[in-house]
Structure 1
Amino acid sequence: MTDPYGIIDLAELKQPAGGSPSTSGTPSAHEVAVTEQGLEQLVADSQQIPTLLLVTSARVPEGEQFLSSLRRGVDAKNGALRLAVVDADTQQRVAGALRVQQLPTLLLLILGQVQPIVQSVLPDEEVDNLLTQVIDLATQQGLDTTAAGESEQQAPPEEPLPPLIAEAYEAIEKGDLEAAVVAYEKQLNDSPADAEAKAGLATVSLMQRTQGIDANTVREDAAQRPQDLDAQLLVADLDMLGGHVEDAFTRLLDRLRGADAETKAQLRDRLLQLFEVAGPADPRVPAARKRLANLLY
């Protein structure tokens, strides 16, 4: 396994761990649902226990089966390693910090470093072999994998999410995006500077705009009608939802040059929403913001 990702940028992640399960099914006894607030603690814990990071979504074909296989395998190892699950729909900032390009993505977090493993669903028969390799690697790097389970049991309890954020997460899991929007808007009304609520609202709005559409049809329409702004905005949404962040930004930024004032305003508003979805920790956001400012002014 190589290490092109290295250390995660945690400059924006300074709160203690917290969160609620982000996927369906029965979690492993050695599993944690990853949130922006909990990522820093997860990295710290990787100094003692190797952690498999699965970045996935309910939209991934065979994703639940892959997650179930990982859960069974991790439980069979009795705490020698941990499984951490990132819901890319509700935790796009985390997916951005991990530089995820497609779903599902499986990574290894060990000794504070993140390493890519695979960007696809693995067959059941390959999971146990993978977990054995991870434990062997952790042992070679000096981690006591036999004591990992005991260490995990002694971890402090997780801090609960704010009630309205938890309500939004629950609504998303049920597929009730309108209720999630209401919960996020209430949270922002109470706490206008809440970064997680801003990102959550932008993400749910993105999900609403792309709900039920046929991606191939949308992309064909956009290719045939390059001057149709609505078509280009929708393709940018699809790119963003699929983890192709730079493609989404570039598509909209390229259309700013020579655009009239109304078109510029629409492109600017959509880009600002997508910046919120990606989050300030994503290295592609500052560059896109700078180009946006140059093209507008």
Structure 2
Amino acid sequence: MATLGMSPADKQAVDAFRKDVVEPSMSKLVVIDFWAEWCGPCKALGPVIEKVTDDYAPKGVLLAKIDVDKNNFIASQFQVRSIPTVYAMFQGQLVADLTSARTESQLRAMLDQILRQLPISGEAADAEAELEPLIAMGEQVLADGDAERALAIFDQIAEMAPDHAVVAAGRVRALTTLGRHDEAQGALDAIQGDAAKAPEVERARAALSLAREAQPVGDLAGLAARAAANPEDMDARYELAGGQMAAGDREGAAETLLAMVRDDRAWNEGAARQRLLKLFEVVGLEDPWVAGQRRKLSQILFG
């Protein structure tokens, strides 16, 4: 924004804009709200913008309010022809027009989309970067079968980030693997707000549900022989699948459930298919093993 030939007042406004908006935008996402005291819609939208940007401040979002009456030159440089006009700036460039967002949910959705695409620096982003390797360690230890150590790792991370959905979900899955189902349910119930809807929490919820319904079988080999001798005994086959899951044999459980779906997909209101889908969710929908099993299920259902 050139200052040559401007009045002292305009030059002062430009200098202030550079300091308050352009410079912070080098590392943060600056939401610029062009408004005026006499503008009714501005007064309605202003509190919404202020609340959302305040909530998003830890993510690297900053609000700059520009009174067009006091900063007419700045407004003209951005070709503001009506108010409210709301832009997002990053590294000195406008990256989005947020004017159409008139509700909290709309503005949050637009900001979430922008933040996913830009390298915004904020407290939350920095903290997340520190937690990522620790969470990965906990997940790896849990995948390797050492649930006790995994729980200890997730407990330590939870002290650093008590409201982190992924960490909370990891604790629930570790407790579930250890058979401490009541503690796992208590930990699930303690997850509040949007965190409770996170995919990782849904996965942990499915793991606990599956663990409670998949009961261990004392004579698993005997049950398998009985189910093989009488394939029409779907109850025995369903119990076998539960026993296989309880024993950690997901391959065997999947084979049993897939065969049940192939033989009678409507049995017990599709219970075999529902249990199989829950197993997929517990393992992780992006897991290569799940992808292979889903292809087998699709071939049975639609092949």
TM-score (ref. length: structure 1): 0.42
TM-score, scaled to structure 2: 0.42
Greater share of helix: 2
Between structure 1 and structure 2, the one with the greater Rg is 2
